[in-house]
Each structure stands twice: as structure tokens, then as C-alpha cells.
Structure 1
Amino acid sequence: MTVELRELRRSFGGTVALDGLSLTIEQGELIAFLGPSGCGKTTALRCVAGFERPDTGAVFIDGADVTRVPANRRDAGMVFQSYSLFPNLNVRDNVAFGLRVRRRPTSERHSRAAELLELVGLGGFGERYPHQLSGGQQQRVALARALALQPKVLLLDEPLSALDAKVRVNLREEIRRLQLELGITTIFVTHDQEEALSVADRVAVLKSGRLEQVAPPAEVYDRPATPFVAEFVGTMNHLPGRVSGETVEVFGHFLPLDGAAPGEEVDVLVRPEAVRVSPSEEGRGFILASSFRGSIARLRVQLDSGGEVLADVPGHEAVRLAPGLKVDVTLVERPVLTAPRTAVAAPVEPVA
């Protein structure tokens, strides 16, 4: 079912959580709400779920205004960060709890629970209790419970943040598989950019309760709509530049502008993979450090003119690019975003 948010506004005291948020999530789409803490992504999710009521604006599910409909009548399944399983119930009864509340027959509850446990890879775990499961297994149970009533919309509130890295990767892939298999409209809230980019059909980047950009993951990464999106999604270098017409000069080269520049003296926003490094006695800097990351190595280069720049190079090339080596730095010829000049041009690392 489609979900539509229309001009949602929500404040808590003097803090504005949502500031006119409008967005449509299409049937069968998985959209990720991405942004820093306090940007409004969880508040927006809770407005869809019915746990928060917006001050103004409306929420529509399948064309019906549900803004004032209680949470238990919205036909939405929600998975929380903290699992929220009942410790006194076994896995089967946790999954079937919503069916029990709706007074479905015992046979139906048990068969539906068994079906969903198979779906999430926990067939045969029905008689275990939450304390006998790992964190990842508990979250799978929470997911199965959310799906038990066949909701129109699935809402995931940072469901993987309490898990270790490897389990997070495995479970996010499992969530995506299930979402595609069931064709259920899904909102996935996260502050982890890698998570959002890897599972979503579209990513909605929020800042201070407003929508900065909503687009497919590749577009958000490669063509960020604003400097905020560029800096929040992925790692970004800030390099001093000077605007000249529709180009910007950086490192003695002229690159086309992607959008309007905020002034003549600007910071040019460049990702590490767009930086080229080559050994040169006449180069403009030297390598401070090299971090091996499998298929790539990330170099930190100290510029003679001041500041640093990050560059990603193929892992096999890192052998000849050791710390202390004098190097030249150039940029890939492609349009770049610019931002107001900062006091110190330095790489902006991603938010975890």
C-alpha cells in the first residue's frame, strides 16, 4: 500500500522535530529514512505508526487519512531497536501474540507462527525462549511477529543498531530478501549510511525535520542535492577552490560546477575515489598514512599548501605509495559541488 506524508509538523516544547515533511512511499517500496540524531526520522516513523500525532499535516495509508486513527487500527507492523520480546513467552507464542489478541484459533496461531519462523530462518526454534537466542535471532523473531498479522506497511526503527557488524550485514540482507518476497511497503529508519544505501529502493535524507533529498541510493551518493547530503553520505574532502564562471579552479585545474556556487572563494567537495595520487618529487604533498581496506587502500595526504586530502586507490597500488612518499594530487574530471569556505579545509568523515 502507498504511504503519504503531507506537510507533517511536530514539535516537542521548543524543539521542532518535523518541519513540513512531505513524502510519498510507493506500493512495495523500501525507503530508508537517513539522517543524524535529532533529524526527525524516528518521529516521522512514529507518526506513520500512530504512536505520535503530528501538530499539523496528515498521514495517508492506501489513500485513507489515518492521522487520527489509533495505532492498533492502522494495519502496520513495527520492529523496534530493542526487540521488545515477551521474556515469559516462547518464540512461537511471541510471534503469534497479535493473533492471540485478535482471538484467532490456536491451530491458526501455531501454523502461522511456524510459517513465519521458517520464513525468517528459525524453523524449529518455536519452543525456545528469548534468553536462549542471540541478538540477531531475537530480532528475527521480532520481525516475524511484526509480519504475523499481514500488515499493509512494515516499519523498522533502527532494527539492527544493537547487533554486531557481521550479524547486521547478514540480517539487513535477510530483511531485504523478505521485503522483496512479500512485496510489502517498508520504511526503514537508520543513521547508518551504508545500511541505507545497501537495502533501500530510495533514500530520504533528513536534516532538522526537513527533507534534503529523496532518490535512489546511487543518485544520493553520486549526485547529492545539497552540501549537507554530500557530507553526510560517504566520506568527503573539502578542497579550497576559486569559482570562475561555470567552473571552479582547484589544484590548478578547472572543473565544471554541479549547481550554483555560494561565492567566489569556496570549498570544493570531492570524494576520495575521485582523487588521484601519483609519486612525484615535484608533487604538492606527501603521504601521511595508508589504511588497507581490502580492495582499496585509503591514503591521507598532507598538502604543502596546508590541510589534508583523502584518496582511495586500488589495494595493489598501495605498496608503492608508502607513508612519507612525495606525491602529486589530481582530481577526476567531473562536475563538483561547492560549499562556503571553511576556516580549515579538512576531510569530512562519514557519520556511523
Structure 2
Amino acid sequence: MTITIPENEVPENGRTVQDGAATVEFRGLTRRFGATVALDAHDLTVRPGELIALLGPSGCGKTTALRMLAGFEAPDSGAVLVDGQDVTGVPAHRRDAGMVFQSYSLFPHLNALDNVAFGLRMRKVATAERRSRAAELLELVGLADKGERFPHQLSGGQQQRVALARALALRPRVLLLDEPLSALDAKVRTTLREEIRRLQQELGITTLFVTHDQEEALSTADRVAVLRAGRVEQCSTPTELYARPATAFVAEFVGTTSRIPGVMSAPDTVEVLGRRVPATGAGIAAGTDVDVLLRPEGVDVTPDPGAGARVVATAFLGATTRVTVRLSNGVEVKADVPTRRTAELPVGTPVAVGLPDQEVLVVERPRTAT
């Protein structure tokens, strides 16, 4: 897996980038645990000052990649470079990276201020300076009045804010976040991820954020790298990743997707539900049986007494309601419709299914064993 951050490049959204934002490369990086390949060689480019989310299921290699950059894990092959210098053999405390863990890892015998100042103390920073710096960081994360409290006197969200302040205290060139929000309840998690994003943009620090939560990745990152079995399937902006997934794995891992059987009528056209629509795939030949992958917001359903499809379930989502439709061939399709329309779509209603106007992603249908 190769991660490259070009020097002196401002991210496309024009936000401020911290002076000296680090250039990081993972070159041909591979790590095996017995017969399991945790991380395989791959190329990925990351701009300075942006937040990259590494997203994927458990065991896909995202945390292994992060730990190798931090210096906590050694690769079997390949090299880790920071600003062009090979740091593969450099110990973690010399990597100039701040890391925030899922488990907070605060010292229980130290108050919040001393926890934040701990790294500065290890670097023999003068007492007055380190306490002043720690107080500044606590104010930055909204805990200016909690400096004298010990970890057990803080909520989970407050403890994670202290851990974030501690990671930032040494002014690291790279910030590494290893599923920092997964132990928190939903409301606190949402608030804190917004706070992390605000701080990251304000400081302009290059950040790698590991998560298995797609909503967290899509709402926080500049770009998201979806990993599978140690390889990056796709790295794109959240909008691109969701709207134009490169593979079936990405389409089904990120968001909700329905599979509808179709047949390729040409290399760039698929026949599905009695219509021919433009398709994107891996150059699948005409006549090939395929599955068409559709997002629920791209599917429309309307009452039609003569249709063979039927509504089999509805789920209220607020402004929209997710309607599950069973086609005449038994395949189920999900569609998001305005909630105001649900009165006309009760369970059992015969409906016609409309397809999106844009290109649809198709994948060759797996052959059934005989």
C-alpha cells in the first residue's frame, strides 16, 4: 500500500494547510500474520492537510496501515517514508506523529491537564511552558474548566477530547485516529466527530482516520479509502465514492444497494426491468447476465394496479421512507420516497419501479453451481 502526500500542495477545497504538513509514503508495504495477509502492496495518494478515512470491515488492514505509520508495527516488506526520509526503522517516539486510540489510554493517576502535558514532560519541556501549552489545548477541545479532573471524573466524550488534546500537544506533523469514537454513544459520537473535523481543518494537519463506520467516514473525510483484504478498492471523495462506486464491494459496503438482474445489450448498455439504460462496468460483453446495483434514492415506485411488483415493507426515516418492493421474480428492491407519499404505498400495493436516469453500475452475475 503506497500513500503519497505531495509537498506544498493546497487541498482542492482551499482550506489552510499547516506549515510543513508532512509528506507520507507507504511503499510496497506488506504485512502478514501467519497465512493472513493484513496489508498488501497498493498505491494511494493523499494531499497535505487533508483528512483521509481508511474504511473497511474488520480484518481489512486499515489499523495495520495506521500502526505501521505510527511505528507500532513493522512491515514484512516495503518502507514508510516521511518527507522523503525512510523511517521504517525509526522508533515510534521519533516519528513526529500523534495518535488517538479507541480506548482513550489516559493515565488514571494524572488529571486532565497533566495527561495532556505528559508528552511535553517526557521531552523535558519546562514546567510553566508545558502547563501553559496543555491549558491551551484543553481550551481548544472545549475542556478549559476540566483541567483538574481525573479520567474517572470525566465522561467518555470528555476523556476522548483529553486524548485528542494530548496527541496535539506535541504539534505532530501527522495525526492518527484509530476508531476514536467507536466506544461512545451515538449522540456524543456525532458531536465529537464534528469537533475533530473542525479542529483538523483549523489546524490544517494531515490526518488519517481509521473507522468501520461508513457514515462517520463519509461525513468527516476529504476522501475515503475503502479497504478490502489488505488492498484499497477505491479512494475518492465521499460524493464520488457514493455516487460512482468503482466495484460491487464498494457499492454494497458504502450505503444501501439493491441488486436487480439484467442482461447486457451492448458493452455500455444494460436491459433491466424492460428498459435499456446506460451502464458502467468492467467491459462486460453483450449477452452477459449481470446484476444492476441501485441506490434507494435512485429508485422510484408509483402505484400501478397492473404491475407485478408489490410493496412488502416500509421503514420511516424522517423526511423519507424506505419502501421495500418485491418484484415478480422474487427479487427485492429498496426505494427512498418522500414520507408524504407513503399513504399511497401501504404494504401490498402493486407498484411500478422506475430506474435512475444516470449510468448504473453492473457486475457480472455469479454463476450458480449445477
Question: Following the alignment from structure 2 to structure 1, what is the Cα–Cα distance between the partners of residues 355 and 275?
Answer: 8
What SS does the corresponding residue of 2:40 show, helix, strand or coil?
strand
C-alpha deviations, 1:130-153, integer Å up to 9, x for none?
A: 011111111000000000100000
What does residue 269 of structure 2 align with? 247
Of residues 221-230 and 318-327 in structure 1, the stretch that sits farther from structure 2 once superposed is 318-327
Q: Give percent identity, aligned residues only.
A: 65
Equivalent residue number for residue 341 of structure 1: 365
190-199 or 263-272, larger mean C-alpha shift: 263-272
Whole-Å separation in 2 of the counterparts to 1:284 and 1:135: 52
Task: Give the match for residue 299 of structure 1.
Answer: 323
| 1:240, distance to aligned residue in structure 2 (A) | 0.5
Shift of 1:342: 4.9
Q: Deviations over 1:256-295 (max 9, x none)?
A: 1113355611111111111110001012311111111111
| 3-state SS in 2 of match to 1:114 | helix
Indicate whether 1:165 and 2:186 are aligned.
yes
Pair 1:78–1:287, CA change in 2 (3 A): same
Which whole-Å deviations, capped at 9, do the CAs of 1:46-96 have from their partners, x for residues lacking one?
Answer: 010000111111111122211111100000000000001111110000111
- After TM superposition, the score normalised by the length of structure 1 is 0.95
Which whole-Å CA distance do the structure 1 matches of 2:319 and 2:306 have between them?
28
Unaligned runs of 5+ in 1: 345-352
Alignment of 1:191 onto 2:212: yes
C-alpha separation in 2, matches of 1:257 and 1:300 = 23
SS in 2 for 1:111: helix
Which residue of 1 is the match for residue 299 of structure 2? 275
Q: Which residue of 2 is the match for residue 257 of structure 1?
A: 279
Following TM superposition, the consecutive aligned residue runs of length 4 or more in structure 1 with deviations greater than 3 angstroms are none
- Residue 84 (structure 1) aligned to one of 105, 128, 140: 105
Question: Does the aligned pair in 2 maintain the 1:4–1:25 contact within 8 Å?
Answer: no
Q: Secondary structure at the match of 2:37?
A: strand
Asked if the contact 2:54/2:211 (under 8 Å) is kept, the reply is yes
- Structure 2 gaps of 5+ residues are 1-21
Aligned 8 A contact 2:27 2:80 in 1: yes
Q: Which moved more, 1:183-192 or 1:263-272?
A: 263-272
Equivalent residue runs for 1:13-92 within 5 Å: 13-92=34-113
- Contact map agreement 2:264 2:284 (CA 8 A) in 1: no
Deviates more, 1:272-281 or 1:14-23: 14-23
Task: State the SS of the aligned residue for 1:43.
Answer: helix
Alpha-carbon distance in structure 2 between the residues aligned to 1:24 and 1:46 = 18
Structure 2 counterpart of 1:226, one-letter code? T
The answer as to whether partners of 2:281 and 2:363 remain within 8 angstroms in 1 is no
CA distance in 1, matches of 2:309, 2:300: 12
Equivalent of 1:331, from 351, 355, 362? 355
Distance 2:321 2:176 in 1: 37
Q: Tell me how far apart the structure 2 counterparts of residues 138 and 338 of structure 1 sit (CA, whole Å).
A: 45
Which residue of structure 2 aligns with residue 233 of structure 1? 254
Q: Deviation of residue 25 (structure 1)? A: 2.4
Q: Does 1:266 align with 2:300?
A: no
Instruction: Answer with 302-311 or 136-145: which moved more.
Output: 302-311
CA distance in 1, matches of 2:130, 2:209: 27
Superposed CA RMSD: 1.3
Instruction: Indicate conservation of the 8 Å contact 1:160/1:172, yes or no.
Output: yes
Is the counterpart of residue 98 in structure 1 residue 119 in structure 2?
A: yes
Instruction: Provide the C-alpha distance between the structure 1 equivalents of 2:334 and 2:340, rounded to a whole number of angstroms.
Output: 17
Residues of 2 paired with 1:148 and 1:89: CA distance? 16
TM-score normalised by the chain length of structure 2: 0.91
**1:308 matches 2:332:** yes
2: CA distance, partners of 1:281 / 1:56: 63
Q: Is the partner of 1:144 in helix, strand or coil? A: helix
Partner residue, 2:308? 284
Within the candidate set 228, 231, 236, 1:210 is matched to 231
After superposition, the Cα gap between the structure-2 partners of 1:261 and 1:324, relative to the gap in structure 1 and judged at 3 Å, is farther
Write the distance in 2 (CA, Å) between the matches of 1:260 and 1:342.
14
Decide which of 196, 216, 222 is 2:243's aligned counterpart. Answer: 222
State the shift of 1:337 in Å.
Answer: 1.3
